[in-house]
Amino acid sequence: MNQEHAPVSTDQANLYVELQNYNLTEKLERGTDYFLVGDIKGVKYYMSNDETWGGIMAVSEEHKLAIDTMFFEMDDMEYPDSDYAQVVHNGQMMCGFEAS
In a domain, 21, yes or no: yes
Count of structural domains, the chain: 1
Please give the residue range of the domain that contains residue 17: 12-99
In a domain, 35, yes or no: yes
In a domain, 72, yes or no: yes
pLDDT in tens, 14-66: 999 999 999 999 998 888 899 999 999 999 999 998 888 999 999 999 999 99
In a domain, 7, yes or no: no
Average pLDDT over residues 74-96: 93
- Residue 99's pLDDT is 92
> Is the Cα dihedral 2, 22, 41, 14 positive or negative?
positive
Distances (CA, A) of 64 to 12, 16, 80: 8, 6, 25
In a domain, 6, yes or no: no
- Tell me the C-alpha distance between 15 and 30, whole Å: 23
In a domain, 62, yes or no: yes
